[in-house]
Structure 1
Amino acid sequence: MKIVVLAGGLSPERNVSLSSGTMIAHALKRLGHRPALVDLYFGLEDPAGPLEACFDQPVPDRWKQVDPQAPDLEAVKAARPGESPSQFGPGVLELCRQADLVFLALHGACGEDGRVQAAFDLMGIPYTGSGYVGSALAMDKDLTKRLVAPLGVKTPQWKRADYTDRDIDRLTSTTPVPCVVKPVASGSSIGVSIAHTKKELHAALVEGLAYGGQCVLEQYVTGREIQVAVLAGKALPSIEIIPSDGFYDYENKYQPGAAREVCPAPIPPAWEQAVGQAAVTVYQALGLAVYARADFIVDQGGTPWFLEINTLPGMTPTSLVPQEAAAVGMDYETLCQTIIDESLKARQGSR
């Protein structure tokens, strides 16, 4: 199959996405497919050239390792030639029309939030993962919690805050600590802070202005960090995350050795069943498809507290979904092929 692997984009998670895309493209090549790895935002180096040739180019390795720092998006914008406001770089849509499938290796805004999926639906371009509605709902941490809390899925108490610098003192005085401050629509723990004191909360809210001043202020729940992937509607074995220092932030997620990851998680069978069922409940409630990864804190009594769900989870060298698939005997190539097969089923009738 001719498959465009779409990565990068204009998102704080573009470096993670480029790493995921590189790994996926290499796997597709080993499977006998004809992948074309493309940066959504920068597009084709020669958009006027023959598109067919893009599917026979070697897969570059320069993006394989995730940079330890999130990208400077203003610098990314400045590096793209021209002044087009489009999120699609030169030749991207034209190439996607030529493909049998687009494998979405995008993470974060404009990729995981449903906008690319909606554009492809309108154009009849098949793609991997969930559709635009489920993607948009899952990207919004507040909406996700509103939908799943009535279904018996426990989630820490929270409130959404849309604020400016004039509201920070009020929010600081009225929000109990400890708490977690999260951008409403972001991933890879970018912009996430744990505030144990009012001073830390104030600082976190100031930092949050850089992410649009839209956040979720969430009750801090102590316990073990357990994550569960759902593949084709079924939970994979859970994985426990044990950071070497601090919490599971951007650096700990993507730098080898920064966190210990144990899969299957060393938890009692009853806990495993509870966290797996909670993940599937969230997946179904949001109308997700193909695959996703849900994040939980499991307390001392074995109760899973749902935090968020990711519809295009990472596929980097240190990512969790491939590790969970490996725990049931599924290697990286088979995982990618399964995502392709399930996605084609989900997109039946899109053309």
Structure 2
Amino acid sequence: MKIAVLYGGTSGEREVSLSTGKGIINALKKNGHEVVDIDFHPDRLNEILELDVDLVFIGLHGRFGEDGKIQGLLDMLGIPYVGSGVLASALAMDKAKSKQIFSQYGIATARSKTYRVENDNLRAIEEAIKQDFKPPFVIKPNQEGSTLGLTIVKDTTEIEEGVKKAGESDDTILVEDYIAGREVTVPVVGKQGAEKALPVIEIIPKSDYYDFDSKYKPGGSEHIVPAQLPEEMTEKLQKHSVLAHQLLGCDVYSRVDFIVTDEDEAIILEVNTLPGMTPTSLFPDSAKKIGWSYEEMVEKFVELSVVKG
């Protein structure tokens, strides 16, 4: 097949996307496909408008890639692509909206509230957060990935900087209770209605929490696959992962992040519709555990997308 790979982009996750794109491109070539690689930029939309390919593999992360915008353009052009469509992508990217959906269907989430950031209301937001939350809590952009713009507030003096930091990435910020526990993630793959969860991964970051460096720098974190959890918890995480994937309308693949508390609660954090596919990424680690090489995993996504198309 002739497959275009979109990678790079303009979001804060550009460097990660470059690495993801490189991995996908190499895998597709090894699998015998003809590859057109595009370092995507919204100023160069003609590169997309003039595409003549069988399929697009989206290796973008963050804005203009994971939020449904590029999916909408490809839909209008009638070009099939790997992964979730416009609505599922947009919902997963909007943490507040997706949390509302999860809560309605019995998937536990951290208590949270959103605040609209404008230049002249930062002080008012700080005061509102002080009234609504007691440390520790988390301030982060409502629509951003890779923990960019995230602050764990341990003292109220950190609120001002946390609001500014999150506000640089999004005009809506999300504040939620800090949930202590073990960080785990569950890859989901399959055609709609027949998805399955892959082995649960526990993430042990070398820093205080699973931040950008922990995710993408070699040695930044340790991945335990499968996670050493009671069978009942493993089953619950896998069941909730597939349910979350389906509730948002995701397609082909996603990765669902959780915190498992000391009280044995599984608290969902978010669904990633375009999870990282770098050499240190989580999804390939889990796929390897069920016998899929990186190349086989990528081909599985292609096959599912062709069936979908």
Give TM class, smaller chain.
Answer: over 0.9
Preserved contact between residue 200 and residue 225 of structure 2 (Cα < 8 Å)? yes
Amino acid at match of 1:118: G
Amino acid at match of 2:164: V
Query: What is residue 231 of structure 1 aligned with on the other side?
Result: 189
Q: Distance in 1 between matches of 2:265 and 2:302?
A: 34
Counting only pairs closer than 5 Å after superposition, residues 87-102 of structure 1 correspond to structure 2 as 87-89=42-44, 91-96=46-51, 98-102=52-56
Query: What is residue 183 of structure 1 aligned with on the other side?
Result: 141
Q: Distance in 2 between matches of 1:216 and 1:169?
A: 13
Q: Which moves more between the two structures, 293-302 or 204-213?
A: 204-213
1:186 partner SS:
coil
Q: Distance in 2 between matches of 1:88 and 1:133?
A: 24
Q: Distance in 2 between matches of 1:217 and 1:90?
A: 35
Question: Could you report, residue by residue, the CA deviation over 1:18-50 in whole angstroms, capped at 9, with x for unpaired residues?
Answer: 110001000111111111221011xxxxxxxxx
Query: What is residue 168 of structure 1 aligned with on the other side?
Result: 125
Question: Could you report, residue by residue, the CA deviation over 1:101-122 in whole angstroms, capped at 9, with x for unpaired residues?
Answer: 0000010000100011011111
2:86 to 122, 132, 142: 132
Shift, 1:163, TM fit: 2.3
Query: What is residue 72 of structure 1 aligned with on the other side?
Result: none
Q: Which moves more between the two structures, 232-241 or 161-170?
A: 161-170
Q: Distance in 1 between matches of 2:146 and 2:126?
A: 27
Question: Could you report, residue by residue, the CA deviation over 1:192-214 in whole angstroms, capped at 9, with x for unpaired residues?
Answer: 11111111222211222212331
Q: Please tell me whether residue 205 in structure 1 is matched to residue 163 in structure 2.
A: yes
Q: Distance in 2 between matches of 1:310 and 1:88?
A: 26
Unaligned regions of 5+ residues in structure 1, if any?
42-86
Shift, 1:170, TM fit: 1.5
Shift, 1:91, TM fit: 4.2
Q: Please tell me whether residue 20 in structure 1 is matched to residue 37 in structure 2.
A: no
1:211 partner SS:
coil
Q: Please tell me whether residue 193 in structure 1 is matched to residue 147 in structure 2.
A: no
1:258 to 220, 236, 241: 220
1:343 to 294, 305, 308: 305
1:312 partner SS:
coil
Amino acid at match of 2:99: K
Q: Distance in 1 between matches of 2:139 and 2:123?
A: 17
Normalised by the length of structure 2, the TM-score is 0.94
2:44 partner SS:
coil
Q: Distance in 1 between matches of 2:198 and 2:126?
A: 43
Amino acid at match of 1:27: A
Q: Distance in 2 between matches of 1:146 and 1:8?
A: 31
Amino acid at match of 1:187: G
Question: Could you report, residue by residue, the CA deviation over 1:295-326 in whole angstroms, capped at 9, with x for unpaired residues?
Answer: 00001232210010100000001000000100
2:263 partner SS:
coil
Unaligned regions of 5+ residues in structure 2, if any?
none
Q: Distance in 2 between matches of 1:22 and 1:156?
A: 35
Amino acid at match of 2:165: E
- The root-mean-square deviation of aligned C-alpha atoms, in Å, is 1.2
Normalised by the length of structure 1, the TM-score is 0.83
Shift, 1:343, TM fit: 1.4
Q: Distance in 2 between matches of 1:330 and 1:38?
A: 27
2:168 partner SS:
helix
Query: What is residue 32 of structure 2 aligned with on the other side?
Result: 32
Preserved contact between residue 5 and residue 56 of structure 2 (Cα < 8 Å)? yes
Quickly say closer, same or farther: Cα 1:234–1:176, change in 2 above 3 A.
Answer: same
| Identity within the alignment, % | 40
Q: Distance in 2 between matches of 1:168 and 1:145?
A: 21
Aligned length in residues:
301
Query: What is residue 101 of structure 2 aligned with on the other side?
Result: 147
Amino acid at match of 1:38: I
Preserved contact between residue 297 and residue 306 of structure 1 (Cα < 8 Å)? yes
Q: Please tell me whether residue 108 in structure 1 is matched to residue 65 in structure 2.
A: no
Q: Distance in 1 between matches of 2:68 and 2:170?
A: 19
Q: Distance in 2 between matches of 1:110 and 1:90?
A: 12
Amino acid at match of 2:128: L
Preserved contact between residue 6 and residue 21 of structure 1 (Cα < 8 Å)? yes
Question: Could you report, residue by residue, the CA deviation over 1:49-73 in whole angstroms, capped at 9, with x for unpaired residues?
Answer: xxxxxxxxxxxxxxxxxxxxxxxxx
Query: What is residue 333 of structure 1 aligned with on the other side?
Result: 295
Question: Could you report, residue by residue, the CA deviation over 1:173-210 in whole angstroms, capped at 9, with x for unpaired residues?
Answer: 21222111111110011111111111122221122221
2:177 to 200, 219, 222: 219
Preserved contact between residue 143 and residue 170 of structure 2 (Cα < 8 Å)? no
Preserved contact between residue 154 and residue 305 of structure 1 (Cα < 8 Å)? yes
